[in-house]
Amino acid sequence: MVINVDIQFLGAAKMVTGSNYLITTDNHKILVDCGMFQGNEEKEKMNYMDFPYDVTDIDYLILTHAHIDHSGRIPKLVREGFRGKIVCTKPTADLCEIMLLDSAKIQESDAQWENKKRLRTGQDFVEPLYTIDDARESLKYFDPYFYDQKINLNEEISIRFKDAGHILGSAIVEMWAYEGGEVTKVVFSGDLGMPGRPIIKDLEFIDSADYLVIESTYGNTNHEPFKDSTEKLIEIINRTALRGGSVIIPSFAVGRTQELIYELNKYYEYTPDIEEYMRIPIYIDSPMAVNATEVFQKNSSSFNYEARELILKGDNPFAFSNLRYIRTQEESMSLNKSSYPKVIISSSGMATAGRVRHHLKHNLWNPDNSLVFVGYQAQGSLGRILLDGASKVKLLGEEIDVQLEIYDLEGFSGHADQKTLLKWIDRFKIKPKKIFVVHGEEDQSETLAHLIEDKFNIETIVPNMRDKFNISKDDIELKKGINIEPILLQQDIENELENVYRQFGALVGRSGMLYKDKIIEKNYDELKNKLIDLQHELMDLNILLSK
């Protein structure tokens, strides 16, 4: 018997955006990610093209994480007839709610802007890629799970999420395809994070795979340690403040901004003897970042140990005395009226849109100011242009001199670097027989692919857009039936469940919550899933009671 699975690459092939892979088995079609193409006009046009498959045929969309280059075309997918389920982790579902609505708002206002221009020249109007209503409608299809829960999608496919350590909720997808008693395992790395980051847990290692699809955003780059970047950032802020300047930080509203807040909270609250005048105001100027911070707080049961401990101790890591959250446009505009030193953290992270462009317009010319990049800058984006040393840029209809100091703090990157990617592959106990290298500019992907071949002697493929591969018997012989995961016995799980119920029992009196009925599932997977659900609920309850 041969497992008949096709994988087709329909985005993030020799580029970093537009993630979208189609998995076809005998009876089912499944997507992994449905992201938006981003970076410049040419790429953005690709968002308007028809999906290269019949969307009504798709049973499931498996979503690795909430970033728009992985989730951004979901509202379009639903509007065009997708009626399956969008399976992802719970924090990803919560983050998508704000990210997709925000994305829709941008689509609507871009179309409005374009139509104003077209009205003057008598051209036909354009439609937005999708509307706020489309985005809201698409949220109904989300079906969230926790990490480690086994999800049986249908008789041919099961999946499980592992923590990718990239942003809150980000997942590696383990996918098992079954046919005639045979099983093939495909692993999708999603976006992998750097270990040792604030708030979220480290990326998890995977034991085995027959095939691997791996990202390569930094396949040709190594980052400096996160700690060095944090120290540099604080040094830049202090140095800029002392000469009377302000610091502008274009930052992704979801993830990076919360990490910055978390680190600044640690600095301002736990460093003794900071002079009062050095506590310059830190503004978070992005309504989405404000909303995202709320979603983070709601999902603290998924945080790493340090962050959970801070919260249980009673410190809110997203609040300190000189931190201000800005919501309205008026407040945002007024930030540039005063020349008092300050830090403005604003989106978008690549300065391609959003409020940060206003702040750049008002601050680029002043040599006392600093501009700090804390994330990936795609080719063609304003961020990349500034980083490459442009002396003048066109911004909101004006040509602006670039005089301020520009820094690139690579250590903040949310993506695993070359060393981390290779180590992650090395930790597979049973190595994949073939590795598809995706989600990177071509030179990054090619470099990583060559390194993998040299180091592990594994065949690699850097697919082109629309390339399709069949996993068939002609392939190198499949290693199957080796289960090397440490298996908890059903009895262990039942004991652990008893333990969790006991802890609930001790807390319900204080919380006023109803005691939960014990449900003992028969099926091993369901039992384990239930245990994971309850462990999260228990943590949430602990956090709630600690406040």
Give the nearest distance from C-beta 278 to Zn ion in angstroms.
34
Whole-angstrom distance, CA of residue 251 vs CA of residue 283: 12
Chosen residue from 156, 191, 417, 446 binding Zn ion by CB under 5 A = 191
Cα separation, 259 vs 138, in Å, equals: 28
Q: Among the candidate windows 65-73, 273-281, 310-318, 417-425, which touches Zn ion by CB under 5 A?
A: 65-73
Q: Please name which of 69, 68, 78, 129 lies closest in space to residue 99, comparing C-alpha atoms.
A: 68
Minimum CB–partner distance for residue 157 and Zn ion (Å): 24
Smallest separation, CB 509 to Zn ion (Å):
42
Residue 108 or 191: the one with the smaller Cβ distance to Zn ion is 191
**Coil, strand or helix: which one is 268?**
helix
Query: DSSP 3-state assignment of 255?
Result: coil
CB under 8 Å to 338, separation ≥6 — which residues?
none
Residues 6+ apart with CB under 8 A from 486: none
Q: What x-and-dash track marks residues 406-435 binding Zn ion by CB under 5 A? A: ------------------------------
For position 215 contacting Zn ion by CB under 5 A, the verdict is no
Q: Which of residues 118-157 bind Zn ion (CB under 5 A)?
A: none
CB burial of 470-481 (b: ≥16 within 10 Å; e: otherwise) equals ebeeebeebeee
Q: Which stretch binds Zn ion (CB under 5 A): 82-90, 138-146, 174-182, 185-193?
A: 185-193
In whole angstroms, the minimum distance from the beta carbon of 254 to Zn ion comes to 10
CB of 204 to Zn ion, least distance (A): 16
Q: Alpha helix locations (H) across 344-437?
A: 356-363, 382-387, 418-426
Q: Which stretch binds Zn ion (CB under 5 A): 186-194, 333-341, 345-353, 535-543?
A: 186-194
Distance, in Å, from the CA atom of 245 to the CA atom of 367, rounded to the nearest integer, reads 8
CB closer to Zn ion, 67 vs 185:
67
- Residue where the block lists tokens 């911070």: 293
Decide: helix, strand or coil at residue 111.
helix
Q: Is 199 left (phi over 0), alpha (psi -120 to 50) or beta?
A: left
Binding flags for Zn ion, 431-450, as an x/- string (CB under 5 A): --------------------
Between the two ends of the chain, the Cα-to-Cα distance in Å is: 57
Query: Measured from the CB atom, is 14 or 67 closer to Zn ion?
Result: 67
Indicate the SS3 state at residue 22.
strand
Give the interface segment with Zn ion, choosing from 60-68, 90-98, 365-373, 497-505 (CB under 5 A). Answer: 60-68
Distance in Å, CB of 457 to Zn ion, minimum: 30
How far is it, in rounded angstroms, from Cα 504 to Cα 506?
A: 5
Cβ 191 to Zn ion shortest distance, Å: 4
Q: How far is the CB of 170 from Zn ion (least distance, A)?
A: 7
Q: Is 290 exposed, middle or buried (0-12, 13-18, 19+ CB in 10 A)?
A: middle
Site residue total, Zn ion (CB under 5 A): 2
Q: Please, which residue, 43 or 67, has the CB nearer to Zn ion?
A: 67
Q: Which residues does residue 162 pair with via DSSP β-bridges, in sequence order? A: 172
Dump the DSSP string for 437-467.
Answer: EESS-HHHHHHHHHHHHHHH--EEE-PPTT-
Residue 322 is encoded by which pair of tokens? Answer: 């000189």
Given the complex with Zn ion, which of 64 and 246 has the nearer CB atom? 64
The residue among 128 and 190 lying less far from Zn ion, judged by its C-beta, is: 190
Q: Which is nearer to Zn ion, 73 or 150 (CB)?
A: 73
Closest distance to Zn ion from the beta carbon of 386 (Å): 22
Select 71 or 158, whichever has its Cβ closest to Zn ion: 71
- Cβ 74 to Zn ion shortest distance, Å: 15
**Cβ at position 206, least distance to Zn ion in Å:** 18
C-beta of 75 vs 193, nearer to Zn ion: 193
In 3D space, the residue among 228, 280, 284 whose CA is nearest the CA of residue 252 turns out to be 284
**Residue whose entry in the numeric block shows the structure tokens 């924090």:** 91
- Looking at 102-110, 125-133, 189-197, 349-357, which segment touches Zn ion (CB under 5 A)? 189-197
DSSP character string of 117-170: HHHHHTPPPPPPSS-HHHHHHHGGGEEEE-TT-EEE-SSSEEEEEEE-SSSTT-
User: Which range in 188-196, 366-374, 397-405, 468-476 contacts Zn ion by CB under 5 A?
Assistant: 188-196
Q: Which is nearer to Zn ion, 174 or 191 (CB)?
A: 191
Indicate the residue among 35 and 245 with the shorter CB distance to Zn ion.
Answer: 35
Q: How many angstroms separate the CA atoms of 479 and 433, rounded? A: 9
CB nearer to Zn ion: give 77 or 254.
254
Task: Determine the interface stretch with Zn ion among 62-70, 176-184, 196-204, 338-346 (rule: CB under 5 A).
Answer: 62-70
Q: How far apart are CA 218 and CA 448, in angstroms?
A: 9
Minimum distance of Zn ion from residue 67's CB (angstroms): 4
Kindly state whether residue 67 participates in binding Zn ion, applying the rule CB under 5 A: yes
- Please, what is the minimum distance in Å from the beta carbon of residue 420 to Zn ion? 15
Candidates 191-199, 370-378, 437-445, 466-474: pick the segment binding Zn ion (CB under 5 A).
191-199
Stretch that binds Zn ion, among 45-53, 64-72, 249-257, 271-279 (CB under 5 A): 64-72
Catalog residues that contact Zn ion under the rule CB under 5 A. 67, 191
